[in-house]
Amino acid sequence: MKRMKVLLASCLVSMLLILAGCQSVGGLDISKSLSDNLTVKSSESKQTLSLEIVPSGTEMNEEEQEMIELINSFSLTIDHAKVQDVSTSSVEGTLSLASKKLPFHLSVDKNNLVLWVQGAKQPISVSLDSMYADSGIDIADLQTSEQALELMSNLGKFLFKNASNPESVSVSSVTESVYGEAMSLQKLHIDVRGDELVGLAKSFLTSVSKDKEGVKELIGTLYDVYYPIFKSELGVSSSEEYLDEVELPLGLGTLNNLLDDKEATVIYLTNQLQKSLNELLVDYDKNVNEMFTETPEMKELFGKDTVLAMDFMFDKSLNVRKQKIDLTVQIPTTLELPIKQIKVHSTSEIWNVNKAVIANKIDISKGSLVVDVLNANLATPGKFLRNFDNQSDAYHFIKEDMNISQKYFYMNTLVDEEYDWYYDYALPIDVNQTKMVPIRYFAEELDAEIKWDSVLKQITVIDDITGSTIVLKNGSNQALVDGEKVKLSEPLMKVEGTYYVPLHFIAGALGSTVEWDNDSKAILIERP
């Protein structure tokens, strides 16, 4: 029963994303027009996006007021987006938040994703090749394959074909300016209210449950596009043996044998999906009523005041050339939040549809800050901050608004025989009433770099955020912090192969604070 209600809630949310139904309005084939625009291969565009929080009028504390003001100050302006092909594109625009304006340039091709933000010393680059190097998948081939385009087309047609039109939908002729050119367009206007979603979702699910051929075609396309990736991943993870052990009902053999047979897989998944839909639809109305009774917040959330309003403007070739989207989400009063509504507003203009477009790539030939997504721990907060002018809006946004340098962790101090295997560090020790901690573990938890000089028998710790250096020698109660001598309460010492340093010294030297949790007998270290 609980699973059914979760499915129902998911369906209601999803219906906000399925824009219109299969019926033609005013001579416009809505399903075909919208699904065809999912497979546009190239274009240029500009767009705006903004958020608005509407206060409920109840009393707010200072923190809540500041948060609402911060969110309401957010806007994203895309001055120029270029889609060259399915794998190559660029976006130039400005992100605004509070008093900060962050001009940016993003470019993507088959090999790299590159981001430049005003104030950056070098662009930030992510290698897309490295993400799939071990799997043997050529992601570029996947991105540009006709099968991937076919999948987008089939998915759009399937969704729009099975969705019913909402109550408010109309088509009219308008004259609008697109990229400075006055154009005669057909405007499709759609309003979807929250209280319509129950009926729209039921209609959609009922239609899908009867559209066996449509489901088979969609699953078949999904199989063609993603099964090669799935098999390649199995080869890397060596989990294929597990699939050979999974026996299917009705004498279908093992899961691995089934997956190797496209026709059998498509039929099996189609039958399973439609079986689940039919089970859901049997008590659909009853489950919806129970869900709204048990969680009255859902009824208010999906009420008449939650509205998705959309305008799509088509040219003579049925390409979307301009669009406007306004989403208003009603916040349930039972949640006792100082927020009444959340609003999202977006506008866009599109030109050069399916024509020759050249993306504005970012030049990284002179260097970039390389981010390896498979080894994200190497991209420390300090590396990011040092890549920006500390007087720039971007630097302050990353450090103060995103709190990129903020970090905390706990260190247990008691040995628990049941869980001591879990600790990946040596526990702190007490020496003459001084709490001593393992220096390597402590430093690395705060992203600091640690070096050992075997000749001088000394350790150098380099703070990730400030770049400060801390030099300690084994057995010495004196440290050098940026060249200045600092006396330690206890010397650096080696115990059973681990070097220990006084807790309060190393915490302060790395810009963090220390708190004691008496209940768990653990130390909380926090860096603001």
Question: What confidence tier does 31 reach under pLDDT thresholds 50, 70, 90?
Answer: low
- pLDDT, tens digit (0-9, with 9 covering 90-100), for 230-254: 666 555 444 445 445 545 444 444 4
Return d(Cα 315, Cα 185) in angstroms, integer.
5
Number of domains in the chain: 3
Question: What's the pTM?
Answer: 0.80
Tell me: do 416 and 389 sit in the same domain: no
- Specify the DSSP element, H or E, that contains 386: helix 381-386
Query: Are the CB atoms for 91 and 78 separated by under 8 Å?
Result: yes
- pLDDT, tens digit (0-9, with 9 covering 90-100), for 167-176: 888 999 999 9
- CATH number for the domain including 432? 3.30.457.10
The 3-state DSSP class for residue 362 equals: coil
Q: In what order do the strands lie in the sheet with 407-412?
A: 407-412, 522-527, 513-517
Q: Cα 439 from chain centroid? A: 35
pLDDT greater than 90 at residue 136: no
Tell me: do 388 and 499 sit in the same domain: no
**Cβ contacts of 388 within 8 Å, gap of 6 or more:** 117, 119, 120, 121, 394, 395, 398
Tell me: do 267 and 130 sit in the same domain: yes
Tell me: do 450 and 487 sit in the same domain: yes
Tell me: do 312 and 326 sit in the same domain: yes
Tell me: do 331 and 189 sit in the same domain: yes
When the pLDDT of each residue in the chain is averaged and rounded to a whole number, the result is 84
Tell me: do 223 and 310 sit in the same domain: yes
Tokens (6 digits) for 418: 């049941």
- Which pLDDT score is estimated for 7? 42
Structural domain including 493 reads: 407-527
DSSP-assigned beta bridge partners for residue 431:
434
Tell me: do 320 and 457 sit in the same domain: no
Tell me: do 265 and 285 sit in the same domain: yes
Return d(Cα 347, Cα 269) in angstroms, integer.
39
Return d(Cα 481, Cα 478) in angstroms, integer.
10
The answer as to whether 61 is a domain residue is: yes
- pLDDT, tens digit (0-9, with 9 covering 90-100), for 41-70: 899 999 999 999 999 888 889 988 988 999
pLDDT greater than 90 at residue 473: yes
Tell me: do 417 and 392 sit in the same domain: no
Tokens (6 digits) for 475: 């057995």
Percent of the chain with pLDDT over 70: 81
DSSP-assigned beta bridge partners for residue 105:
92, 116
